Structure 1
């Protein structure tokens, strides 16, 4: 069964609220279409003998000072009133979309300027803004149309800016950026579809305010001018009779109230049918740092002295150096806040604003990423939250197909066929049917598989998986890890696995880098992780992982203290305050990462040399 917006709208329209809204809008449309041709003569017929007559059988709401039928004039005015309301709404919403999306499309400085301008305009009282614009444009239909329409632009732009900022910070937008999707395509394919429903809701609810504002201008004599008339001007004509013949005086007002309620009901129907609400700025481009060391031979990815800084002196990543060979699986582990996920984002060029990336070298597949950030389909990213990684407004198959269309030049049909094939490759049953579904119809494990499938739409040489098993149960975790292993075996792609789970890393990776306070403190083979780790922090991490041999009566091992904040810059070893092997030298001098054996490196003045029995890798496998 279809589960998109049209289906939900159809269900809501069958409720009492939907029936009421549809009936009210239908009545308005019918009156606007048939009113002028059927009642124009009666509305224009002057009968001085019946001037200012009360309501009755001949004239339902009475007559005006020239004897013209008030009810007929209210009916005839419906078309002009609704038409002007729709035009003013179109002006306001179009202007709001253009200004609201401008920060997403324009550069950072221009975007800030637009945002500041919108903020100033929103702070100006709406009613005074309308009157100010009406005075500038002058009395008349055109002036009132521009005044009311332009007055809606600032609040519409502010709403669109907020919605677009929320969508721009989503993982699926980051995935599109890493694939090289341009700014305008990001807006049309990823931002607009996800803000469409709340924007339409805002439009429907704003139409009632626009109707009242336009009628108010006509009531004050600044809107529609004689011989034309709308409900506001009719209300002005009959106001002096409100104590003598309130029915004829309130007829235009009743039409305004009824129409405003119809617009509000329509907005509520759209809100219920939508059922979805929607700040990160564009990722910073890595900046060159000091002179780079020579990369190892055959390195697919080489990073030297990678640093990520934020305003206020915060440096979450402080000199990361790593190399990954083709087909190799490397794990990046550490406590929360150690900088491992931010390091992965920096490699992919996805560090959120206002972060700044610098490095002595950042090379991938023979290209300098510092000067050419886009890596195309050679680099695939699997994010931590699979629900946020997929665009909820698009079908899963369509999102996968876009990769092949943009980067491989495939036709729409061939791209769709490849998307189904890739879903099958990641073990999603009935891939053709699943490709037509949206992300909310997938389970957590299926969404993560779909993200891996998206990475396989091209020919990835490196897959960066940032906590790919977070929030998944143990069985699904095992399936995802087996799938990553299968993908590596079939495609020959290298893997950078970011995780805080040592057992997960031990199951998948060949080599492990342990991060603490933004730096790599140890690098070693997985086989040495439990028994031959040299850094006290690595030993503490391994000791904090319970195994089948752990004494159930004993308290779980923990690491006392807390990691330093990104803004803290200790002179010595950052782990020294939590280390029971620390000396005065550890507190005053920071150790560098030095070679330890043929396959390891450690940054510690007093590394552990004793071998410990047991193996996390063995437990995991």
Structure 2
């Protein structure tokens, strides 16, 4: 939604009057503009306000009549520039990575040349004339639109709701029209008004030098050319078209400034929203996996270039099981989960010995319908996960209509029931609202409802309670627990809060520096029988109700190493109180400690088993 300002009002009013003039001028003053007389090159007078030209024609009338052709040409050239530029700028973000890289480099090359030079080149190739000049200016201005569109699309293309659309198998053209363009429309509208003024000037310039409109047709640029011939005898002849070009450009500038100042990204239904460590050895041979395992991850590696962000992660999730993944920021939790959901960014690559959901190979070519319906994703920030330009109902029903083949009414009824199931009041009314009209907790519930609509076998919850207050956090955890009990949905729950993990999950994976350092049943975790020093440090740093008054909260010294700076041995060695000499150079092997319990630590036998404090 655009807030009205004085500048915007003045610009729209001025352009509106000029548009009206373009409509009425030819029938009203057309005869005066073409009538020949013997009064050639006369100065301004009461009869001829701007004098006459070399053939005795009234200059004022000709200036008014030229308004139509000038505006039509400018609108067409601006439309060509905007359409071509927007298509190029957005196409590179819905195409593959290789096409994107080539397209972005092509845009850079096009922008490096001034628009006037490009216009002259195109006009020279096509020849002089009205159509040629419109095409030339439209093509010349398109790189500016392409550059801005590409930059804006880059910021939107990485948002969760675009990633979800791709996961759901939404075709590229639908991603473009439904998710990208509505969220970058306002800045493009501002550029459109600025480009209008620029194309007007450029078109007039081409006509002025003889490459644009040809006689007997005429626009303001051609009138300016003929007026300059009599500049010293009748300067008023050049004054008319010059003032017309200037005023129209100024009004367009007012509109652009008003749109830029009045755009509010939080309001309205169309509101818009950019050294290498040693490579660890390959992981050990896969541990036995239960026959009924739903998700199997074996030796997963996620890398950016030559740097491993996740280094040899292996685990499984059984049907109906909630497996928690805990660790500090940067430990690789979300990358591991997004690799399973096939939602990694293009700059990151995943590889594994095995990565499958039941019989669905998550590393190969996968059916979009199965991927969209068998895996549900709940993101940390629902504000970024919902498309702000669309109503909640349309976003919830899209997957049902596309992948389940439901009609509009049935899909809406199911979406309403899904909101009701996650305890959202007045679900029918919520479907008609935009995401910003819901509270934070309500948006998170709607995100969970969206993820559960297709009845997924696996729900990936990526820190879904981090941005919520403790009361709403408890409600969301209860909701996930109810979903697990009612539907038997398996879950991969990611958090940096080991207390939240312990309250919800059946089994816990502790990650540090891209590796799983301990796998432990939640009963063992609650009993304080964690064996890895990092897990015990996380437990000790968790606030407890039985802490003595005044007792300081334990902290973990230092910080995790950057992926490119991870040591050859144990990444936790510099922060560990049980460090051994071999920790510096030898990666610790994963040591089994019991049923579904193990730790990757050289000093695992030295770690006490009493409850961490």
TM-score by length of 2: 0.93
**Residue 614 of structure 1: how far off its partner (Å):** 7.6
Distance 2:131 2:169 in 1: 44
Q: Is 1:52–1:62's contact at 8 Å kept on the other side of the alignment?
A: yes
What is the aligned partner in structure 1 of residue 347 from structure 2?
A: 354
1:74 to 37, 51, 63: 63
2:399 to 403, 409, 418: 403
Task: Give secondary structure in 1 for the equivalent of 2:297.
Answer: strand
Deviations 1:238-286 (A, max 9, x none): 123334433332111111111112222333444455423656xxxxxxx
What is the aligned partner in structure 1 of residue 464 from structure 2?
A: 468
What is the aligned partner in structure 2 of residue 46 from structure 1?
A: 36
Distance 1:478 1:569 in 2: 36
1:498 to 494, 502, 505: 494
Task: Give secondary structure in 1 for the equivalent of 2:329.
Answer: coil
Matches within 5 A, 1:287-298: 295-298=289-292
Distance 1:112 1:238 in 2: 49
Matches within 5 A, 1:130-169: 130-169=119-158
Distance 2:241 2:23 in 1: 18
Q: Is 1:104–1:183's contact at 8 Å kept on the other side of the alignment?
A: no
Deviations 1:455-508 (A, max 9, x none): 122111111111111221111111211121122222221111110011111111
2:602 to 598, 605, 612: 605
Distance 2:124 2:95 in 1: 33
What is the aligned partner in structure 1 of residue 294 from structure 2?
A: 300
**Residue 609 of structure 1: how far off its partner (Å):** 5.5
Please list every run of 5 or more consecutive structure 1 residues that lacks an aligned counterpart in the other structure: 1-7, 280-287, 616-621
Change over 3 Å in CA distance of 1:567–1:303 after alignment to 2: same
Q: Is 1:291–1:361's contact at 8 Å kept on the other side of the alignment?
A: no
1:97 to 86, 96, 118: 86
Q: Are 1:434 and 2:430 an aligned pair?
A: yes
Distance 1:589 1:23 in 2: 75
Matches within 5 A, 1:208-223: 208-223=197-212
1:520 to 498, 501, 516: 516
Q: Are 1:114 and 2:114 an aligned pair?
A: no
Q: Is 1:289–1:359's contact at 8 Å kept on the other side of the alignment?
A: no
2:219 to 214, 223, 230: 230
Distance 2:155 2:105 in 1: 18
Task: Tell which deviates more after alignment, 340-349 or 175-184.
Answer: 175-184
Matches within 5 A, 1:256-271: 256-271=245-260
Change over 3 Å in CA distance of 1:478–1:329 after alignment to 2: same
Change over 3 Å in CA distance of 1:289–1:40 after alignment to 2: farther
Q: Is 2:539–2:612's contact at 8 Å kept on the other side of the alignment?
A: no
1:588 to 571, 585, 590: 585
What is the aligned partner in structure 2 of residue 368 from structure 1?
A: 361
What is the aligned partner in structure 2 of residue 323 from structure 1?
A: 316
Task: Give secondary structure in 2 for the equivalent of 1:548.
Answer: coil
Q: Are 1:21 and 2:18 an aligned pair?
A: no
1:416 to 401, 412, 417: 412
What is the aligned partner in structure 1 of residue 240 from structure 2?
A: 251
Task: Give secondary structure in 2 for the equivalent of 1:567.
Answer: helix
What is the aligned partner in structure 1 of residue 279 from structure 2?
A: none
Task: Give secondary structure in 1 for the equivalent of 2:56.
Answer: coil
Q: Is 2:273–2:388's contact at 8 Å kept on the other side of the alignment?
A: no
Distance 2:174 2:546 in 1: 54
Change over 3 Å in CA distance of 1:182–1:412 after alignment to 2: same
**Residue 292 of structure 1: how far off its partner (Å):** 6.1
User: When the two structures are aligned, how many residues end up with a matched partner?
Assistant: 595
1:384 to 380, 385, 389: 380
Q: Is 2:380–2:467's contact at 8 Å kept on the other side of the alignment?
A: no
Distance 2:299 2:101 in 1: 32
Change over 3 Å in CA distance of 1:262–1:426 after alignment to 2: same
TM-score by length of 1: 0.92
Q: Is 2:375–2:456's contact at 8 Å kept on the other side of the alignment?
A: yes
Change over 3 Å in CA distance of 1:361–1:68 after alignment to 2: same
Q: Is 2:578–2:607's contact at 8 Å kept on the other side of the alignment?
A: no
What is the aligned partner in structure 1 of residue 336 from structure 2?
A: 343
CA RMSD across the alignment: 2.1
Distance 2:326 2:283 in 1: 25
What is the aligned partner in structure 2 of residue 576 from structure 1?
A: 573
Distance 2:482 2:568 in 1: 44
Distance 1:591 1:177 in 2: 38
Distance 1:319 1:572 in 2: 14
Q: Is 1:96–1:155's contact at 8 Å kept on the other side of the alignment?
A: yes
Matches within 5 A, 1:608-619: 610-613=608-611
What is the aligned partner in structure 2 of residue 59 from structure 1?
A: 48
Change over 3 Å in CA distance of 1:139–1:372 after alignment to 2: closer
What is the aligned partner in structure 2 of residue 533 from structure 1?
A: 530
What is the aligned partner in structure 1 of residue 268 from structure 2?
A: none
Distance 2:138 2:178 in 1: 27
Change over 3 Å in CA distance of 1:207–1:425 after alignment to 2: same
Change over 3 Å in CA distance of 1:590–1:350 after alignment to 2: same
Deviations 1:9-63 (A, max 9, x none): 5x62xx5334323321221221111111111101001111x22222232122222
Distance 1:586 1:112 in 2: 42
Task: Tell which deviates more after alignment, 454-463 or 237-246.
Answer: 237-246
Task: Give secondary structure in 2 for the equivalent of 1:546.
Answer: coil
Q: Is 2:531–2:609's contact at 8 Å kept on the other side of the alignment?
A: no
Distance 1:345 1:307 in 2: 12
Q: Is 1:309–1:355's contact at 8 Å kept on the other side of the alignment?
A: yes
Q: Is 1:163–1:278's contact at 8 Å kept on the other side of the alignment?
A: no
Distance 2:284 2:203 in 1: 63
Task: Tell which deviates more after alignment, 57-66 or 532-541.
Answer: 57-66
Distance 2:42 2:249 in 1: 28
Task: Give secondary structure in 2 for the equivalent of 1:594.
Answer: strand
Q: Are 1:566 and 2:563 an aligned pair?
A: yes
Distance 1:289 1:148 in 2: 59
Distance 1:216 1:252 in 2: 12
What is the aligned partner in structure 2 of residue 30 from structure 1?
A: 20
Distance 2:531 2:325 in 1: 17
